[in-house]
């Protein structure tokens, strides 16, 4: 079986890289944690990998705004290499802080006609505080290669700036119509979610989006924190699942590379 290689980016303030590496290994890939300086100096090459991941954390202390400093660094010093990687068919995944960085780079929800143009952002939660809780998510396969089936899963969130916004809500409606909204928060009955089921107040409960190709995904919830079924807080009352809900997202990415790239 050919090797699928995932690069897990880390920098000052990253704190979910080990869990993300473990998730990709469980999904059947070879994963390597690489510091951003190694990419910039050329000792590690993005082109040697199939999946580029920006994991969660608080990159550079989230100074200015969450993910903003990392976004500027990546755009200014690695933008051309990331562009080449994506054009060659590579996958990109941004989780929480990684999602914030991808949006502020302009790579999500990127349009082929206007790459690297920032039209959306992630801002302070409506609650005005850091939200750390488990949420229910509706998966919307659409065009995203990381998601295969329409279903409802549970994952944890942990963020202070997770509200997905645009200049006007009509732009977000367009993302729904285009199949670029991949996850949205839902209530216990699977319907529209209010706080705290929608932890940040995103319009229509947007929790994750992809680009037009479906190969770049950003999401606020943390799939790497629910890879093992023992990680669910109610497993002793409700019983263990065969695997954590988050694992399928990593497995789908690995299977896509095996089918379409290798």
Question: What is the tally of structural domains in the chain?
Answer: 1
Q: What percent of the chain has pLDDT over 70?
A: 97
Q: What is the pLDDT of residue 116?
A: 57
Q: b/e per residue, 101-115, with b = 16+ CB within 10 A?
A: bbbbbbbbbbeeeee
* Active-site residue, from 50, 159, 222, 256: 222
pLDDT tens digits for 98-125?
999 999 998 898 655 555 567 899 999 9
Q: What is the pLDDT of residue 111?
A: 59
144 an active-site residue?
no
210 an active-site residue?
no
* Residue-range definition of the domain harbouring residue 144: 5-260
224 an active-site residue?
yes
* Active-site residue, from 144, 224, 232, 256: 224
Q: What percent of the chain has pLDDT over 90?
A: 89
Strand ranges inside the chain, DSSP E: 5-10, 30-35, 51-54, 91-95, 120-123, 131-139, 152-159, 163-166, 181-186, 206-210, 216-219
Q: How far is CA 208 from CA 179, 222, 231, in A?
A: 11, 11, 22
pLDDT tens digits for 60-111?
999 888 999 999 999 999 999 999 999 999 999 999 999 999 999 988 986 5
The domain that contains 246 carries what CATH number?
3.40.50.880
Q: How far is CA 161 from CA 98, 118, 125, 128, in A?
A: 12, 17, 5, 9
Q: What is the pLDDT of residue 262?
A: 85
* Active-site residue, from 19, 50, 96, 210: 96
Strand ranges inside 29-142, DSSP E: 30-35, 51-54, 91-95, 120-123, 131-139
pLDDT tens digits for 180-195?
999 999 999 889 999 9
């Amino acid at each position: 079986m050919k090797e699928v290689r995932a690069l897990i980016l880390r920098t000052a303030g990253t704190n979910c890289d080990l869990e993300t590496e473990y998730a990709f290994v469980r999904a059947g890939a070879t994963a390597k944690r690489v510091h951003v300086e190694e990419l910039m100096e050329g000792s590690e090459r993005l082109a040697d990998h199939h999946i580029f991941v920006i994991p969660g954390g608080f990159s550079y202390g989230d100074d200015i705004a969450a993910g903003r400093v990392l976004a500027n660094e990546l755009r200014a010093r690695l933008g051309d290499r990331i562009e080449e990687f994506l054009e060659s068919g590579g996958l990109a995944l941004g989780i929480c802080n990684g999602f914030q960085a991808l949006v502020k780079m302009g790579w999500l929800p990127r349009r082929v006609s206007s790459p690297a143009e920032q039209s959306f952002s992630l801002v302070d939660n409506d609650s005005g505080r850091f939200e750390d809780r488990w949420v229910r998510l509706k998966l919307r396969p659409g065009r995203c290669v990381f998601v295969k089936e329409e279903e409802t899963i549970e994952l944890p969130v942990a963020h202070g700036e997770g509200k997905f916004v645009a200049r006007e809500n009509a732009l977000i409606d367009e993302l729904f119509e285009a199949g670029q909204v991949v996850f949205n928060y839902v209530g216990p009955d699977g319907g529209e979610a209010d706080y705290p089921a929608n932890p940040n107040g995103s319009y229509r409960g947007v929790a994750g989006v992809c680009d037009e190709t479906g190969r770049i995904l950003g999401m606020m919830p943390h799939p790497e924190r629910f890879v093992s079924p023992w990680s669910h807080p109610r497993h002793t009352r409700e019983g263990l699942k065969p695997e954590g809900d988050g694992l399928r997202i990593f497995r789908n990415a690995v299977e896509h590379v095996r089918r379409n790239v290798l």
